[in-house]
Amino acid sequence: MDLFKQKIEELRRKINEANYNYYILDNPTISDAEYDRLMRELQQLEESYPQYKTADSPTQRVGASQLTKFSTVTHRIPLLSLDNAMDEAEVLEFVSRVQKAPGKQLEFVAEPKIDGLAVELVYENGIFVSGSTRGDGITGEDITQNLKTIRSIPLQLRSNQHPIPSLLEVRGEVYMDRNDFERLNEQQLAEGKPAFANPRNSAAGSLRQLDSRITANRSLSIFCYAPGSCEGFSFKTHIEFLQTLPLWGFRINPLIKLCKTTDELIDYYRSIETKRDTISYDIDGVVFKVNSITQQEELGIKSRSPRWAIAGKFKAKQEITRILDIETSVGRTGAITPVAHLQPVRIGGVTVSNATLHNQDEIDRKDIRVGDWVVIQRAGDVIPQVVKVMTERRNGAEKPYRIPAECPVCRSHITRPEGEAKHRCQNMNCPAQIKGRIQHFVSKRALNIDGLGDRLIEQMVDSGLINSVADIYFLKKESLAALERMADKSAQNVINAIDASRETTLARFIYALGIRNVGEHMGKVLEREFKDLETLIAADYERLEAIEGIGPIVARAIRDFFDEENNLQTVNRLLEGGVGIAKSKTGIQDERFARKTFIFTGTLTKFTRDEAKEIVEKKGGKASSSVSNKTDYVVVGENAGSKAGKAKELGVKIISEEEFFEMVNNPFFNKQP
Ligand code: IVH
């Protein structure tokens, strides 16, 4: 078995998957940076091990392998994105949100939202010096050479109608006309190359060519729509900026309109949507921007988008097709998702062959059956969905669907946890979950095995060295050292770290198991309550639910977990493997605090709330915020409110802050409450 070969195949799979999601499903799943990293790693491995090079490797795809060679540029001012309004009501909400501040009717610039790629063009003293992609908004790729091939981008600003600023950054959308896209695809197919899924992908593909002669042969265009950094030039309104752009030689969209009333805005939204299919390029909505720059500045920006602009999206595109089959897939957390396999159908220029059905409730609610004709919707970047079933097209052969009782990956029993819509595979060693489970198990706050990093875990699982968290405690130095890139000394270090982790606490152990909804805090609660593992495992649902701080959802999750035979075996093997759980120290704790619940109300003068809570927790108690019959003490500060009253009603002991202070500092005070 060769780990490098496996690694290469794994990378190819990931990259192909990413490409598929991006180009075909129009649904990117990883960042550009992550994609670049995978591609780089693959290229390096293929260079070092040319015996594993294949003609179908993603590195052999024209252009793609050269992506990494573009240099990175940091934008002087980040390129923001836009918040979305999904319908007219949301546009109106936006309008009233922004109107509120200045109190009078604002003017808005309305523009089509071009479905292309955002770029930034930089001009110094009127000369085009560089251009970049949007990237993550902060940094992008330098694509100057490619942008220079686009004829609608001026290489030199016109100066006869307007003065030239010393620095001008202009942002815009590069796109491909639908006609050009069709023509390009014909040509691609004629040359035996794959067709692009849609005009945006073909524009992206063309802009990302390292060889700019290829880009030059593609008909790309640009509409400019926003300023970046400007020096030696300012303007009072957005429309003034837009109107200046053509004077310098930039292209702006002919459908831009200044709207002075809300009615005009809504009319614009409607009329552009109606025109949508008659326009020669793809648009996916309209953009409304507050016209006045002063007002824009007053409204400001949120983390990634301005408060003064909104994208009014168009209704998603829908098509009709047939459900051929339904299958389940298991996610990394064990969540089971039913997926409909469709008769492939093109929606908005993309071929769709799968749709998510979310969960059993969704299937039942829509009464989705295998064989049904359905309306499928693909909206922007989201996974295609079933809008409704065309029951009128049923012939009686359609079959209702139930999520099976077995995990499609590990065949163990699946359950539907209390309060959750999704079914879940409960087996902590399910191959779909194992890597994530191990990562969690060894993490700092769990068993804290230093040196068992993600990469090593991946390597160990992929090579079959471990299939369960328990296997970690049976590892031999020799088998670790036999792994690729693992020196004798580092193998020993890992073994030492594993040894050091064997002594642990019940709280950490419980947390490490990764029981759903059982975090670090819950680990401590359970430790305090049960003191040893056997009692916890034996506790029934009622016993668990009776614990302060544990509700039905957590109680169910704990039961579900320990009811899974695989998990019990794993726990036993962990103990066999030498994991030692220290006896809980609760016994020697201050009985006045241990397992007692405190509520603080009113203003404290001697402690802050957090300090008081910390003291209680250190002493083995718990600080909570709402009074119930599980509360032991209510500590009242000044101006205490309704909680003291509620405590009285329930007969809970009420003490003053002074008394609490005494309790903390005097071990004999209030000894037997
Ligand atoms: S303005 C501060 N105007 O939409 C506002 N963006 O979802 C920044 N887009 O990244 C963008 N047409 O790629 C603006 N007329 C238009 C646009 C437009 C298309 C794109 C752009 C941006 C994305 C935000």
**Same domain membership, residue 557 and residue 532:** yes
Q: Which residue lies with its CA nearest to atom 6 of ligand 1?
A: 113
What's the pLDDT at 588? 46
Tokens of 175: 């796109």
Nearest residue by C-alpha to atom 16 in ligand 1: 113
Compute the distance from residue 20 Cα to the ligand 1 centre, in Å: 25
CATH of the domain at 375: 2.40.50.140
Using CA positions, which residue lies closest to atom 13 of ligand 1? 118
Average pLDDT on 339-346 reads: 94
Listing DSSP states for 135-159 in one string gives TTSSEEEB-HHHHHT-TTS-SB---
User: What are the tokens at 638?
Assistant: 């000044």
The whole-angstrom separation of Cα 456 and Cα 462 is 10
CATH (domain of 287): 3.30.470.30
Average pLDDT, the chain: 88
Q: Are residues 156 and 242 in the same domain?
A: yes
Among the candidates 523, 553, 582, a domain finishes at 582
3-state secondary structure of 483: coil
End-of-domain residue from the set 361, 393, 425 = 393
CA 79 to centroid of ligand 1, rounded, Å: 9
| Highest-pLDDT range among 46-55, 297-306, 587-596 | 297-306
**Distance of alpha carbon 243 from alpha carbon 109, whole angstroms:** 12
Quote the ligand 1 centre to 310 CA distance (angstroms). Answer: 9
pLDDT tens track for 533-583: 999 999 999 999 999 889 998 999 999 999 999 999 999 999 999 999 987
Report the C-alpha gap between 372 and 342 in whole angstroms.
10
Report the separation in Å between the CA atom of 138 and the middle of ligand 1, taken as the mean of its atom positions: 15
Q: Residues lining ligand 1, CB < 6 A?
A: 80-82, 111, 113-114, 118, 134, 173, 225-226, 287, 306, 309, 311
Measure Cα distances from 429 to 479, 569, 594 in Å. Answer: 21, 10, 36
What angle is formed at CA 319 by the lines to CA 314 and CA 324, rounded to 5 degrees? 140
Rounded distance between C-alpha atoms, residue 619 and residue 586, angstroms: 9
Residue at 144 is within a domain: yes
Closest ligand 1 atom to residue 134 Cα is: 10
Considering just the CA atoms, what is the radius of gyration of the chain in Å? 31
Q: Look at residue 418 and tell me if it is in a domain.
A: no
Write the CATH number for 553. 1.10.150.20
C-alpha to C-alpha distance for 508 and 3, rounded to whole angstroms: 33
Domain-located, residue 408: no
What is the pLDDT at residue 25?
45
Q: With contact defined as beta carbons under 8 Å apart, do 653 and 598 qualify?
A: no
Instruction: Give the distance (Å) from ligand 1 centre to CA of residue 460.
Output: 45
Specify the ligand 1 atom closest to the Cα of 311: 7
How remote is the CA of residue 63 from the centroid of ligand 1, in Å?
Answer: 26
Nearest CA to ligand 1 atom 14: 225
Considering only the C-alpha atoms of the chain, give the largest distance between any 2 of them, rounded to a whole number of Å: 93
pLDDT digits (tens, 9 = 90+) for 362-414: 899 889 999 999 999 875 445 798 988 999 999 999 999 999 999 999 999 89
Contacts of 323 (CB under 8 A, 6+ apart): 340, 341, 342, 368, 369, 370, 371, 372, 374, 386
| Residues 308 and 322 grouped into a single domain | no
Q: Of all atoms in ligand 1, which is nearest to the CA of residue 112? A: 15
Q: What pLDDT, on the 0 to 100 scale, is given for residue 55?
A: 59
Please write the tens of the pLDDT for every residue from 458-499. 999 999 999 999 999 999 999 999 998 888 999 999 999 999
Percentage of the chain modeled with pLDDT above 70 = 93
Q: Which residues have CB under 8 Å from 421's CB, separation 6+?
A: 358, 359, 360, 361, 362
What phi and psi, each to the nearest 5 degrees, are found at residue 215? Answer: -60, -40
Residues 40 and 178 in one domain: no
The amino acid occupying position 401 is Y
Nearest protein Cα to ligand 1, atom 21: 118
Mean pLDDT within 236-260: 94
Domain boundary among 393, 420, 443: 393
The one-letter amino acid at 549: G
In the predicted structure, residue 19 carries a pLDDT above the cut 70: no
Which residue out of 173, 286, 296, 381 has the highest number of ligand 1 atoms within 8 Å of its CB and is therefore the one to mutate?
A: 173
Look at the block and give the residue holding tokens 């999206």.
313
Residue nearest to atom 22 of ligand 1 (CA): 81
Residue environment code for 148-184, b if the CB has 16+ CB neighbours within 10 A, otherwise e: ebbeebbeebeeeebebbebbbbbbbbbbbbebbeeb
Does residue 553 lie within any of the structural domains?
yes
Asked whether residue 401 is domain-assigned, the answer is no
CB–CB of 190/140 below 8 Å? no
Residue 518 has pLDDT above 80, yes or no: yes
Best residue among 170, 287, 314 to mutate for probing ligand 1, ranked by most atoms within 8 Å of CB: 287
Cα gap 579→494, rounded to integer Å: 16
Q: Quick one: 18 and 113 in the same domain? A: no
User: What is the spatial distance between Cα 104 and Cα 98, in angstroms, rounded to a whole number?
Assistant: 10
What pLDDT band is residue 67 in, cutting at 50, 70 and 90? Answer: very low
Q: How many domains does the chain have?
A: 5
User: For position 62, what pLDDT does the model report?
Assistant: 39
Does 77 reside within a domain? Answer: no
The closest alpha carbon to 5, from 456, 377, 363, 462, belongs to 462
Q: Which contiguous run of DSSP H or E holds residue 194?
A: none
Identify whether residues 130 and 270 lie together within a single domain. Answer: yes
For atom 23 of ligand 1, the residue with the nearest CA is: 81
Contact at 8 Å (CB) between 172 and 224? yes
Query: Residue 673: what pLDDT?
Result: 44
Mutate to test the pocket of ligand 1, among 114, 119, 381 (most ligand atoms within 8 A of CB): 114
Which protein residue has the closest C-alpha to ligand 1 atom 12?
Answer: 113
Residue 381 alpha carbon to ligand 1 centre in Å: 16
Ligand 1 nearest atom to the CA of residue 111, by list position? 15
551 and 606 inside one domain:
no
What number of other Cβ atoms are within 10 A of residue 121's Cβ? 23
How far does residue 73's CA lie from ligand 1's centre (Å)?
A: 19
| Ligand 1 centroid – CA 298 distance (Å) | 20
Q: Is the distance from CB of 183 to CB of 233 less than 8 angstroms? A: no
**Hey, which residues are catalytic here?**
113
Can you tell me which atom of ligand 1 is nearest the CA of 284? 19
In-domain check, residue 325:
yes
Domain region containing 112: 84-313
12 Cα–ligand 1 center, Å:
33
Distance between CA atoms of 502 and 577, rounded to whole angstroms? 9
Using CA atoms, how far apart are residues 77 and 226, in angstroms rounded to an integer? 12
Q: Are residues 90 and 177 in the same domain?
A: yes
Q: Give the whole-angstrom CA distance, residue 169 versus residue 74.
A: 13
Structure confidence at residue 245 as a pLDDT band (50, 70, 90):
very high
For the stretch 274-280, contacts whose Cβ atoms lie closer than 8 Å and that sit 24 or more positions apart, written own/partner, are 276/314, 279/112, 279/255, 280/177, 280/178, 280/179
**Which residue among 32, 81, 82, 253 has the greatest number of ligand 1 atoms within 8 angstroms of its CB, and so is best to mutate?**
82
- Fill in the DSSP letter of residue 402: -
Q: How far is CA 405 from the centre of its chain?
A: 29
Q: Which amino acid is at 156?
A: Q
pLDDT at position 512 is 96
For residues 502 and 611, membership in a common domain is answered with no
Residue 629 sits in the same domain as residue 499: no
Average pLDDT over residues 35-60: 82
**Quick check: is 421 in a domain?**
no
Atom 17 of ligand 1 has which residue's CA nearest to it? 113
Q: Could you tell me the two tokens for 36?
A: 């670049």
Q: What is the model's pLDDT at position 103?
A: 59
Query: The tokens of 533 are what?
Result: 């593992």
Mean pLDDT value of segment 144-153: 86
**166 plus 262 within the same structural domain:** yes
Residue nearest to atom 11 of ligand 1 (CA): 81
Closest of 280, 129, 155, 288 to residue 219, by C-alpha:
280
What is the domain-level CATH number for residue 626? 3.40.50.10190
User: Which ligand 1 atom sits nearest the alpha carbon of residue 253?
Assistant: 15
Whether residue 231 sits in one domain with residue 109: yes
